[in-house]
Amino acid sequence: FAKHEFTAEFMLGSSDAESWTAKQLLELARSRGDEKAALEWEEVSLGYTESPGHPELRKAISGLYGESIGPDQVLCVVPEEGIFMSMSALLSPGDVVVAMMPAYQSLYEIARAKGCAIRKWSATYKPGTGWSFSLEGLRQALQGQGGKVRMLVTNFPHNPTSWMPTRSEHAELVALCRQHQLLLFSDEMYWGMALGQGSDPESSCTRYEHAVTLGGLSKPYGLPGLRVGWLATQDAEVMAKLRQLKDYVTICGSAPSEVLAIIALRHGEALLQRAWATARRNRDLLRAFCEEFPDLFEWAPEPSVGLTAFVVLRGWAARMGARGFAEWCVERASCVSSSDAPKPP
């Protein structure tokens, strides 16, 4: 993916929504009667910013979580930085971490590099049903040999399967965290992508006092170039550790990015609506393509959340292996797909 991301003609492996330009974002704000957006952008200071994040930005972010999270319980970060900081500040060598698999690599590799033991909570696939993560599988991982678990790492909606727990499943997951006295690191970068059908369960940081939620504008909001994300938690001790560590990484955010992020969150529903519409359309196109070539692709029941689908390879494509098939697609059609597709069950 890294080799061909910016050179191939067609991208099927991207995990974010179609990106906005700064001009489009400002025009959207103006069309919705936001008269101050243009002035905010023109008068942005290019000096240092507050380390925790712009007060107005943290206020807007906390508003996404209702009354459970206040501005002082939000720390603005670059999304990847948020993962690195959380694993660095909250884990010690020898700790045991349970992580969903497959997953965004840094969600478990940073902990591994710190000397932690990683236990897998693995996805299972059933033809006709698709991908899922069983709570029984989580219980087994938590009770496995090799020491007490320190942290559970989750990602909902899940990348790449787009699996999402029901509200009752999420409540049971939180109950398990309390029972085992775990830290919960919840990657919620795809939050808000229910594709217009129903709504996402409550954020983990609103349901569990020792949860750290990672959010950001890179995925459903279509603003990855801003590099704006955040960590939210009710745990004051955890927040203090995270704030202290930020002084040794990026120190503070980019002032232009923070101003554009404030504008974007004022019109967040409009940004999500465009992402919903595009994702639904592309999902239907991908399903039709897989159904046209059933000897090569198995389409699981279509995702109702998220921005990604995890298609199973069949036939000669499966025999080539995921990476081999991905290279074949680039060579024959200048088309980049993910190289992490599963082997057929």
* Position 117 pLDDT exceeds 70: yes
Q: What is the pLDDT of residue 145?
A: 82
What does the pLDDT read at residue 70? 98
291 alpha-carbon distance from chain centroid: 28
- What is the residue extent of each domain of the chain? 10-21+274-336, 38-268
For residue 102, whether the previous peptide bond is cis, meaning omega lies within 30 degrees of 0, is yes
Token pair, residue 126, equals 């059933």
What band does 57 get if pLDDT is binned at 50, 70 and 90? very high
pTM attached to this predicted model:
0.93
Q: Please give the share of the chain, as a percent, with pLDDT higher than 70.
A: 94
104-138 burial, b at 16+ Cβ within 10 Å, e below that, comes to beebbebbeeeebbebebebebeeeebbbbeeebb
Q: Which residue has the higher pLDDT, 264 or 164?
A: 264
Q: How many Cα neighbours within 13 Å face the side chain of 287?
A: 11
CATH fold label, 38-268 = Aspartate Aminotransferase; domain 2 (3.40.640)
What token pair was written down for 83?
A: 């993962």
Positions of E strands within 68-175: 74-77, 96-101, 117-122, 124-126, 130-132, 149-155
